[in-house]
């Protein structure tokens, strides 16, 4: 069957199935199981209302349980096992972890990930804040914002191609087509550089891609937060003779700290999971490995499920503090 | 209030200029790809894309018509060759200067007559017509060479798009990958919305034990890296017989998209006015009716913003497709995978790379600009409260 037809069929079956399920289950509840009439009408209505939320939630709980909760447990289990020929598993305790910790490539990935985690959220939030503040009172501010926000729609892979063109290096005697080398030579550089092959610094050239993508997100949210600041606080500062920098750093920033933290943590999560950019641009060569790509290498190239799962658990472990913090905040808000 | 602080012209200028710089930094990378996708491979390697936007100056080396075939006898031992130097060149542009020797390029202006010595004359006009006149010895043998400095207008082509999208012989074309991506994206966007909308309503407006716990779980799952799901779910898919394919990738995207969908929609639905819902209940509407007739239409902005998120995310995804969809046959490749492949095999062919990449980002960009309002609303609902 043609995939497009299959897709259409899936939409019909999927959507029809969902609607049918919700409608049918609801009908079953009201018309067959607990009729809101007869001698037990009151009790039946109560019972139906006790069950109905679970009908509404059932597909979501199933999907979440199967596709997100179960894998956490299963991956944890796999990380203690070793796959033997013939679909057999042997319990090896922490061996996958100790083996992984002995690999220099893992520590390279860890170092790079930490570097990404320090630089990308800070730079994206910083640029976002700058863009939000600068465009705020500008007549063409909305157009500027649109353009800075635009890379959000671009895939990591597309962005990888875009930045590869920027970093492109051609031999010394012909015209440079990568703008970075063009500018480098224009401002006194000696020879064209292979930017992605300079160990350590190439990490920053990869980070630039993610910063470019995430800045718009930070800008949009921080811009809304800046607009939410009560005017009186700024006016009072102006009357007291504060200069624009003081207003920005001492009046505005403290009032949007909580939003900055939210933006920062959201970008941190995205950074932790970064895979496509490294996969497409260097594939971890020249000391640019990161955890997600390391894990992919182990799982699908080396076919080592034990170590791959161990690497995935490391990523999970790094996410956990943010997870706990988010849940804690959400619960606090609901009270 | 900035007006109170005093808006000096210098400050306004500084502000405008810094925003222009910022915008340029964010726009130019994409612009470079866009411009490159309309240039031929030769043009791309010959000069940077930024110079393609302006008229380019170049020196052409052309020859006049073969004198032995084309010369006209003028009598008195004089011969001449007439014609247009641009014949058969398909050339557009403007001539700045010309010369008959490579040693003094640009020696003559258009319309000049150059004396080549011993009565040999050469005239070249702006439109390319020339007259080459001399004696029998001079107007014979090799045709005269002319070096012309021309300014050619920006030159763009649509051939790259034709080749990448419509060429039947191009095994690395994007047409199939485009439809595959579309096949992945549409069901993977619609199904989670339906499931999430019901769940969000239950979490927002229905009372039942364990509601707070469920919300907390959804918030927690929001950040679980999908990397953890790869192996366990692939084994599961293989075990139940789905294997690698569209069904698997649809299910996976549905599962991974649900936490955000439920979270966004619940946040929005909770904010709907309580009165409407209670009035409807008093009037005897059931939860199901309230949901379909009141909540769903009112929640349209939130539904739209999640739909855009999920669309962008599934369209741009590489990892989920690599793991759950693309098998060894390569028949189900998606655009992101195709581009990564091209980066490996056609790393230097920028016209192919740029065009393929631009085809894959054009659709999300279109959606982005058309639906930006909803996207911003969704972001704000998801992060700021």
pLDDT at A121: 92
pLDDT of residue A51: 80
* Mean per-residue pLDDT over chain A, rounded: 84
User: Rounded to an integer, what distance in angstroms lies between the CA atom of residue B384 and that of residue B370?
Assistant: 23
Contact B169/A at CB under 8 A: no
Cα diameter, chain B: 115
Collapsing DSSP states into helix, strand and coil, what is residue A209? helix
B180 and B91, same domain (yes or no): no
Residue in A with minimal Cα distance to B317: A155
Is B15 within a domain? yes
> Does a structural domain hold residue B257?
yes
Note whether A214 and A294 are same-domain residues. yes
| Mean of pLDDT over chain B | 81
Residues B290 and B166 in one domain: yes
Of the residues B228, B317, B335, B368, the best mutation for testing chain A's interface (the one with the most A CB atoms within 10 Å of its CB) is B228
Contact B360 A49 (CB under 8 A): no
Nearest residue of A to residue B182, measured between CA atoms: A4
Task: Write the CATH number for A132.
Answer: 1.10.3720.10
Are residues A146 and A280 located together in one domain of the fold? yes
> Chain B closest CA to A128's CA: distance in Å?
11
Asked if residue A125 and residue A60 are part of one domain, the reply reads no
Provide the token pair at A309.
Answer: 């799962």
Maximum Cα interatomic distance, chain A, rounded to a whole number of Å: 95
pLDDT of residue B5: 47
Does B75 fall in a domain? yes
Domain count, chain A: 2
Nearest of B103, B102, B94, B93 to residue B62 by alpha carbon: B102
Structure tokens at B380: 């704000």
Output the pLDDT for position A3. 60
Chain-centre distance for alpha carbon A226: 24
Are B31 and B111 in a shared domain?
A: no
Does residue A52 register a pLDDT over 50?
yes
Cα of A298 to nearest chain B Cα, Å: 11
* CA nearest to B188 within chain A: A11
Query: Any idea what the CATH number is for the domain that residue B376 is in?
Result: 1.10.3720.10
Q: What is the pLDDT of residues A236-254, one digit of tens each?
A: 888 888 888 888 888 888 8
Residue B270: closest CA among A60, A63, A330: A330
Answer yes or no: are the C-beta atoms of A192 and A176 closer than 8 Å. yes
More confident residue, B144 or B32: B32
Residues B142 and B169 in one domain: no
User: A92 lies in a domain?
Assistant: no
The confidence band for A178, taking pLDDT boundaries of 50, 70 and 90, is confident
The gap from C-alpha A80 to its chain's centroid, in whole angstroms, comes to 27
A88 lies in some domain:
no
Is residue B157 one of the residues assigned to a domain? no
Please give the residue range of the domain that contains residue B49.
2-53
Number of C-beta neighbours around residue A231 at 10 A: 8
What's the complex ipTM?
Answer: 0.85
Kindly report the backbone phi and psi dihedral angles of residue B110, in degrees, each rounded to the nearest multiple of 5, phi listed first.
-55, 135
Chain A nearest-CA residue for B197: A56
Query: Residue B31: pLDDT above 60?
Result: yes
- Ranges of H-type helices in B71-174: 159-161
Residue A163 is encoded by which pair of tokens?
Answer: 């930045």
pLDDT at B87 over 80: no
Residue B350: exposure state from Cβ atoms within 10 A (0-12, 13-18, ≥19) = buried
Looking at the fold, whether A74 and A102 belong to one and the same domain comes out as no
Chain B residues within an 8 Å CB radius of A19: 194
Same domain, B361 and B290: yes
Q: How confident is the model at residue B91 (pLDDT cuts 50, 70, 90)?
A: low
The pLDDT of residue B385 is above 50: no
- Tokens linked to B145: 């060479």
Distance from CA of A200 to the nearest CA of B (A): 23
**Domain stop point among B15, B38, B53:** B53
Residue B33 C-beta-side C-alpha neighbours within 13 Å: 28
Residues in B closer than 8 angstroms to A164, CB to CB, are: 343, 353
Tell me which range, A44-53, A260-269, B284-293, is most confidently predicted by mean pLDDT.
Answer: A260-269
The answer to whether residues A18 and A102 belong to one domain is: no
**CA–CA separation, A148 vs A217, rounded Å?**
9
Residue B226 pairs in a beta bridge with none
The CA distance from A81 to A323, in Å, is 26
Q: What is residue B384's predicted lDDT score, i.e. its pLDDT?
A: 43
**A16 in any annotated domain:** yes
Are B372 and B318 in the same domain? yes
* Torsion angle defined by CA atoms of residues B343, B347, B350 and B351, in that order, rounded to the nearest 10 degrees: -70
Nearest to B184 by CA among B233, B255, B254: B254
Domain housing A302: 98-334
Lowest mean pLDDT among A27-36, A66-75, A193-202: A27-36
Contact A48, A29 (CB under 8 A): yes
Residue B208 to residue A50, Cβ atoms within 8 A: yes
Q: Looking at chain B, how many residues does it have?
A: 385
Same domain, B331 and B352: yes
What local confidence, expressed as pLDDT, does residue B338 receive? 85
Q: How many CA atoms lie within 13 A of A167 on its CB side?
A: 22
How would residue B382 be classed by pLDDT, with cut points 50, 70 and 90? Answer: low
Structural domain contains residue A297: yes
In a domain, A83, yes or no: no
* Beta carbons of B212 and A331 less than 8 angstroms apart: yes
By the 8 A CB rule, do B232 and A316 touch? no
Cα gap B197→A134, rounded to integer Å: 38
Together in a domain, B225 and B142: no
Instruction: Give the pLDDT confidence of B244-286 residue by residue, as tens digits.
Output: 878 888 888 988 889 888 988 888 888 888 888 888 888 888 7
Number of neighbouring beta carbons within 10 Å of residue A202 = 21
- Edge to edge, what strands does the sheet with B145-152 contain? B56-63, B145-152, B94-99
Q: Tell me which H or E stretch contains A163.
A: helix A156-167
* Final residue before a domain boundary, out of A24, A44, A78: A78
Which of B195, B321, B335 best tests the A interface by mutation, with the highest count of A CBs <10 A?
A: B195
Pair (A13, A107) in one structural domain:
no
Residue A93, domain member (yes or no)? no
Verify that A32 and A162 share a domain, yes or no.
Answer: no
How many other C-beta atoms lie within 10 A of the C-beta of residue A211? 24
Q: Which of A14, A141, A290 to mutate to test the interface with B (most CBs of B within 10 A)?
A: A14
Is A144 in Cβ contact with B186 (below 8 Å)?
Answer: no
Residues in contact with A95: Cβ distance below 8 Å, sequence separation at least 6, in sequence order = A82, A306
d(CA B42, CA B37): 12
**CA B217 to each of CA A328, B196, B258, B269: distance values in angstroms, whole numbers, following the listed order:** 11, 14, 12, 18
Which one of A129-143, B49-63, B99-113 scores highest in mean pLDDT? A129-143
Chain A contact present for B341, CB below 8 A: no
Are residues A178 and A306 located together in one domain of the fold? yes
Question: Could you tell me if B228 and B369 lie in one domain?
Answer: yes
Is the same domain home to A37 and A116?
no
pLDDT at B130 over 80: yes
Q: What is the least distance, in Å, from the CA of B29 to any CA of chain A? A: 6
What integer pLDDT is reported at residue B88 of this predicted model? Answer: 65
Choose one of B118, B152, B186: the last residue of a domain. B152
Residues 6+ apart with CB under 8 A from A179: A166, B28, B32, B48, B50
Shared domain check, B277 and B128: no
Q: Could you tell me if residue B337 is inside a domain?
A: yes
pLDDT of residue A104: 86
pLDDT for residue A277 is more than 70: yes
Number of H helices, E strands in chain A: 16, 2
Give the C-alpha separation, A17 to A14, whole Å: 5
Task: Looking at the structure, tell me whether residues A249 and A308 fall in a common domain.
Answer: yes
**Does B305 fall in a domain?**
yes
Whether A119 and A55 map to the same domain: the answer is no
Residue B108 is given by DSSP the state: B
Chain B CB contacts of A56 under 8 Å are 198-199, 201-202, 206, 287, 291
Are residues A53 and A171 located together in one domain of the fold?
A: no
d(CA A225, CA A252): 10
Tally of domains in chain B:
3
Q: Which of B19, B184, B361 sits opposite A155 (nearest CB)?
A: B361
Contact: A176, B48; criterion CB under 8 Å = yes
Is the pLDDT at B383 greater than 60, yes or no?
Answer: no
Residue A85 Cα distances to A93, A260, B347, angstroms: 19, 50, 38
Taking only the tens place, the pLDDT of each residue in B172-226 is 778 888 888 888 888 888 888 888 988 888 888 888 888 888 888 888 888 888 8
Q: Which residues contact B32 (CB under 8 A, 6 or more apart)?
A: A162, A165, A166, A179, B49, B50
Predicted local confidence at residue A210, as pLDDT? 92
User: Does some domain include residue B242?
Assistant: yes
Chain A positions touching B228 (Cβ under 8 A) are 71-72, 75, 312-313, 315-316
Sequence length of chain A is: 335
Q: Is the CB of A154 less than 8 angstroms away from the CB of B27?
A: no
Q: Of the residues B16, B33, B53, which one is the last residue of a structural domain?
A: B53
- pLDDT (tens digit, 9 = 90+) per residue, B35-86? 888 887 777 777 777 777 777 777 777 778 787 777 888 877 888 888 887 7
- What are the tens digits of pLDDT across the range B225-235? 888 888 888 88
- Please say if the pLDDT value at position B1 is more than 70: no
Q: What is the pLDDT averaged over residues A193-204?
A: 84
- Average the pLDDT over A178-194 and give the result: 82
Structure confidence at residue B294 as a pLDDT band (50, 70, 90): confident
Mutate which of B232, B295, B333 to test chain A, going by most A C-beta atoms within 10 A?
B232
Is residue B109 located within the same domain as residue B193? no
C-beta separation of B334 from B181 below 8 A:
yes
CB B359 within 8 A of CB B174: yes
Task: Tell me: pLDDT of A56 over 50.
Answer: yes
Which residue is closest to A143 within chain B, CA to CA? B23
Within a domain: residue A177?
A: yes
Find out whether A227 and A136 touch, Cβ atoms under 8 Å.
yes
- pLDDT on residue A36: 67
In this structure, are residues A235 and B1 in contact, taking their beta carbons and an 8 Å threshold?
yes
Torsion of CA B107, B110, B116, B122, to 10 degrees: 160
Same domain, yes or no, for B26 and B118? Answer: no
Q: Which residue's structure tokens are 């704000």?
A: B380
Burial pattern B156-188, b for ≥16 Cβ within 10 A else e, equals eeeebbebbeeeeeeebbbebbbbbbbbbbbbb
Query: How far is C-alpha B231 from the chain's CA centre?
Result: 33
């Amino acid at each position: 069957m043609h995939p497009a037809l299959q897709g259409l069929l899936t939409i019909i079956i999927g959507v029809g199935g969902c609607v049918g399920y919700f409608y049918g289950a609801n009908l079953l509840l009201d018309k067959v199981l607990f009729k809101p009439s007869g001698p037990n009408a009151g009790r039946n209505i109560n019972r139906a209302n006790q069950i109905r939320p679970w009908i509404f939630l059932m597909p979501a709980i199933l999907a979440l349980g199967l596709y997100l909760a179960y894998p956490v447990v299963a991956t944890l289990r796999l990380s203690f096992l070793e796959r033997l020929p013939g679909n057999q598993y042997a319990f090896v305790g922490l061996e996958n972890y100790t083996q992984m910790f002995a690999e220099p490539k893992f520590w390279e990935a860890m170092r790079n990930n930490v570097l990404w985690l320090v630089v990308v959220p800070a730079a994206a939030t910083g640029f976002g804040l700058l863009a939000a503040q600068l465009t705020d009172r500008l007549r063409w501010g909305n157009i500027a914002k649109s353009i800075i926000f635009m890379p959000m729609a671009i895939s990591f892979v597309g962005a990888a191609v875009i930045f590869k063109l920027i970093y492109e290096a051609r031999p010394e005697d012909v015209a440079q087509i990568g703008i970075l080398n063009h500018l480098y030579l224009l401002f006194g550089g000696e020879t064209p550089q292979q930017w992605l092959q300079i160990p350590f610094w190439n990490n920053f050239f990869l980070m630039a891609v993610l910063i470019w993508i995430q800045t718009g997100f930070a800008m949009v949210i921080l811009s809304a937060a800046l607009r939410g600041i009560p005017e009186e606080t700024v006016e009072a500062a102006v009357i007291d003779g504060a200069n624009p920098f003081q207003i920005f750093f001492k009046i505005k920033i403290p009032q949007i700290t909580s939003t900055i933290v939210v933006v920062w943590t959201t970008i941190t999560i995205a950074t932790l999971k970064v895979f496509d950019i490294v996969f497409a641009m260097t594939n971890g060569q020249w000391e640019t490995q990161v955890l997600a790509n390391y894990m992919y290498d182990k799982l699908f190239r080396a076919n080592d499920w034990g170590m791959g799962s161990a690497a995935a658990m490391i990523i999970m472990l790094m996410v956990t503090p943010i997870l706990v913090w988010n849940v804690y905040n959400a619960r606090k808000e609901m009270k | 209030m900035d007006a109170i602080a005093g808006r000096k012209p210098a400050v306004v200028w500084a502000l405008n200029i810094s925003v222009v710089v910022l915008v340029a930094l964010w726009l130019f990378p994409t612009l470079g790809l866009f411009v490159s996708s309309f240039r031929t491979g030769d043009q791309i390697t010959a000069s940077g894309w930024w110079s393609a936007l302006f008229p380019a100056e170049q020196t052409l080396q052309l020859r006049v018509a073969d004198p032995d075939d084309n010369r006209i006898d003028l009598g008195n031992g004089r011969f001449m060759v007439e014609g247009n130097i641009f014949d058969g060149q398909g050339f557009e542009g403007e001539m700045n200067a010309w010369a008959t020797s490579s040693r003094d390029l640009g020696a003559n202006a258009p319309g000049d007559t150059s004396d080549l010595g011993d009565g040999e004359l050469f005239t070249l006009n702006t439109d390319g017509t020339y007259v080459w006149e001399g004696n029998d010895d001079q107007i014979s043998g090799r045709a005269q060479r002319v070096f012309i400095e021309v300014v050619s207008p920006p030159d763009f082509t649509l051939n790259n798009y034709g080749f990448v999208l419509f060429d039947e012989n191009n095994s690395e074309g994007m047409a199939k990958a485009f439809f595959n991506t579309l096949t992945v994206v549409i069901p993977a966007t619609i199904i989670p919305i339906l499931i999430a909308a019901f769940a969000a309503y239950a979490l927002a407006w229905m009372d039942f034990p364990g509601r707070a716990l469920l919300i907390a779980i959804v918030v927690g799952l929001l950040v679980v890296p999908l990397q953890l799901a790869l192996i366990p779910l692939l084994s599961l898919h293989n075990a139940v017989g789905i294997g690698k394919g569209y069904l698997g990738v649809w299910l996976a995207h549905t599962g991974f998209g649900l936490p955000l969908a439920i979270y966004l929609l619940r946040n929005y639905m909770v904010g709907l006015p309580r009165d409407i819902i209670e009035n409807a209940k008093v009037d005897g509407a059931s939860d199901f009716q309230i949901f379909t007739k009141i909540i769903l239409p009112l929640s349209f902005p939130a539904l739209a913003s999640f739909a855009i998120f999920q669309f962008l995310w599934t369209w741009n995804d590489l990892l989920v497709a690599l793991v759950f969809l693309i098998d060894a046959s390569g028949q189900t490749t998606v655009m992101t995978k195709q581009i990564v492949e091209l980066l490996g095999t056609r790393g230097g062919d920028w016209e192919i790379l740029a065009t393929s990449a631009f085809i894959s980002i054009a659709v999300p960009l279109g959606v982005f600009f058309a639906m930006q309002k909803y996207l911003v609303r969704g972001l704000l609902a998801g992060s700021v409260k």
